[in-house]
Amino acid sequence: MRYQFLTLLTAFGVLLASNAVVAQDDDVIITVDSTNLQFSPADITINEGQAVRFFWSGELLPHNAVSTDGLFDSGEPSRNVDYRFVFQVGMNGTYEFVCEPHEQLGMVGIITVLAMNETQNQTGETDFEEAGPNENQSNATSYGVGIIIVSIFALLFYRYGALVTIKFGKK
């Protein structure tokens, strides 16, 4: 039983290190306002390297989020959507997206992606600053690597530690 738990812990560490199961703190989440058939928020500004997550659950009507230029597509309209798209470095610009079944009713949105070294200050003016590493990503990777190392040592000790103790314990 312990061996299976340690194996699962190691697998979790691998996934965490690869960021496959880590939600980023700087993701911008876009939901659906079903009563007004709108995205919420409908107009966002993010930086290159950030992700937009389209998330809704249990909606009365099915929705999707599709970029008008074909860059991203959350799939067929659904009442439950959890779709994440990362705007990589070099993808700065303005992107319009729509809910295909409700586009004619005005269910549209705009994502403005600023260049990596460009941010907007609170007065709406553009400042330029040096881009740093994604702190959340490096922390998640560090935790994942730590879990892997601890799990491997625990597996080795569990598997071979008892044998070593017995072997050296007898005189």
What would the pLDDT profile of 52-95 be if each residue is shown by its tens digit? 999 999 999 999 999 999 999 999 999 999 999 999 999 999 99
pLDDT for residue 139:
41
What would the pLDDT profile of 127-167 be if each residue is shown by its tens digit? 444 334 443 444 444 555 555 665 665 555 666 665 445 55
- Burial of 105 from C-beta contacts in 10 A (0-12 / 13-18 / 19+): exposed
Please give the share of the chain, as a percent, with pLDDT higher than 90.
Answer: 51
C-alpha–C-alpha distance, residues 60 and 76, integer Å = 15
Q: Which two tokens stand for residue 31?
A: 């939901």
Residue 118: pLDDT band (50, 70, 90) is low
CATH superfamily of 27-133: Cupredoxins -  blue copper proteins (2.60.40.420)
Domain extents in the chain: 1-23+134-171, 27-133
Mapping DSSP to helix (H, G, I), strand (E, B) and coil, where does residue 91 land? coil
Helix axes 135-156, 2-17, angle to 10 degrees: 150
Bridge partners, residue 112, by sequence: 45, 94
